[in-house]
């Protein structure tokens, strides 16, 4: 018996292309492929676990896994950054978010919540879509890739401050979520682009999340927006103690002299506003919790992707060598605080 309710802080839908193509303006309905590029076949598209396109099936699988509530991210839609036409990106984001809202509503809107896609190459349009998705569609988060949206531009740069201000005011988190097969700059892609998929995938997910955390803490975003919640998802979490230690070292010298506005150490910003996901079988998570405390970790299954441990993810997490009280916080309390989800 689990003994407590469970939130999957990083579940996925496998959105069928045609399901929301019809929601696009006529001008864009013939665009093929919508998100992918040449790397898709060697990436997630060729390695999907099982496709789930019906909300009733998604709910049945949640029940089998022991999941009470899931916050849902896309699959192919993680490639929205591949779209360079701003108007097409805006149309795609709206179409996907409308489709996902219907998917959750047709399943169970008390158990399934969306994370909104944003057309990030247009900050003003992203602000409008975040507002619509949260206020009109009831979404619990917005998501971004941790990768740079374009070369030489990253999330701590001032052009994104209006977006952080809006998301902070909407009282939803930003979920940074890595993926595969992206035209966006990706850690390891310069070394492993033509090699085995495992070589690039092993480094990209964790390292991109580490870089995004650096930008949000040492880069000053969480200082400027003290109510903004950020989550770093599907990149493991056991790297957190070392990385916060190293960022603190660089805040002490030269960071706080280079940017006197940084009043806190990066670890303190993270403790105040940050979350990171743990995999169900991530045994080094015990040491990470001992070093950082258990308040910043959330549970995720990555269902239904090829590397998910479904239908045994929850059961395997319960076997991890961490305290029972910590397990309960990670399975429900922390995720409920991150996404502002009430009691079951």
| Tens digits of residue pLDDT in 37-83 | 444 444 444 444 577 789 999 999 999 999 999 999 999 899 898 88
Residue 2 lies in a domain: no
Average pLDDT over residues 306-330: 94
Residue 27: CB partners within 8 Å, gap ≥ 6?
none
Residue 93 forms part of a structural domain: yes
Q: Does 151 fall in a domain?
A: yes
Mean pLDDT of the chain: 91
Give the up-direction half-sphere exposure of residue 314: CA atoms within 13 A in the CB hemisphere: 24
Any domain includes 64: yes
Lowest mean pLDDT among 168-182, 219-233, 266-280, 326-340: 168-182
Question: Within 221-323, where are the H helices?
Answer: 221-224, 240-250, 256-258, 266-273, 285-292, 313-318
Q: Is residue 344 part of a domain?
A: no
Measure the CA angle with vertex 324, ends 321 and 330; round to 5°: 90
Total-model pTM: 0.94
Residue 83 token pair: 């779209």
How far is Cα 180 from Cα 250, in angstroms, rounded to an integer? 30
The answer to whether position 1 is within a domain reads: no
Structure tokens that stand for 84 in this block: 């360079």
Number of domain units in the chain:
1
Single out the residue of 159, 148, 227 nearest to residue 187, CA to CA: 148
Task: Say yes or no to pLDDT of 17 above 50.
Answer: yes
Q: Give me the domain span that covers residue 217.
A: 7-339
pLDDT of 43 reads 45
CATH of the domain at 288: 3.20.20.140
* In a domain? residue 235: yes
Instruction: Single out the residue of 109, 107, 129 nearest to residue 118, CA to CA.
Output: 129
pLDDT digits (tens, 9 = 90+) for 142-162: 999 999 998 899 999 999 999
């Amino acid at each position: 018996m689990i003994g407590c309710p469970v939130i999957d802080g990083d579940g996925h839908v496998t959105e069928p292309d045609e399901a929301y193509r019809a929601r696009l303006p006529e001008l864009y309905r013939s665009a093929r492929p919508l998100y992918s590029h040449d790397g898709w076949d060697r990436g997630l598209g060729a390695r999907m676990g099982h496709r789930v396109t019906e909300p009733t099936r998604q709910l049945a699988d949640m029940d089998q896994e022991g999941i009470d509530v899931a916050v849902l991210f896309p699959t192919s839609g993680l490639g929205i950054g591949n779209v360079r036409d701003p108007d097409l990106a805006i149309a795609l984001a709206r179409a996907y978010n409308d489709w996902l809202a219907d998917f959750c509503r047709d399943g169970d809107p008390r158990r399934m919540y969306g994370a909104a896609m944003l057309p990030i190459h247009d900050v003003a349009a992203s602000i409008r879509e975040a507002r619509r998705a949260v206020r009109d569609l009831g979404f619990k988060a917005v998501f971004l890739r941790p990768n740079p949206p374009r070369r030489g531009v990253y999330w701590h740069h001032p052009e994104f401050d209006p977006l952080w201000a809006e998301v902070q005011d909407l009282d939803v988190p930003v979920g940074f979520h890595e993926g595969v097969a992206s035209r966006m700059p990706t850690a390891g892609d310069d070394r492993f682009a033509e090699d085995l998929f495992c070589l690039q995938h092993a480094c990209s997910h964790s390292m991109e999340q580490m870089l995004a955390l650096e930008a949000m803490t040492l880069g000053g975003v969480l200082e400027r927006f003290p109510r903004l919640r950020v989550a770093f998802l599907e990149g493991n979490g056991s790297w957190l103690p070392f990385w916060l230690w190293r960022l603190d070292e660089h805040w002490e010298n030269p960071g706080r002299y280079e940017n006197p506005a940084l009043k806190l150490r990066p670890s303190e910003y993270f403790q105040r506003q940050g979350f990171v996901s743990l995999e169900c079988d991530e045994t080094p998570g015990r040491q990470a919790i001992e070093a950082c405390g258990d308040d910043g970790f959330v549970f995720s299954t990555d269902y239904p992707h090829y590397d998910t441990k479904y239908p045994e993810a929850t059961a395997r997490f319960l076997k991890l060598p961490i305290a029972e009280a910590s397990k309960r916080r990670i399975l429900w309390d922390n995720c409920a605080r991150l996404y502002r989800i009430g009691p079951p």
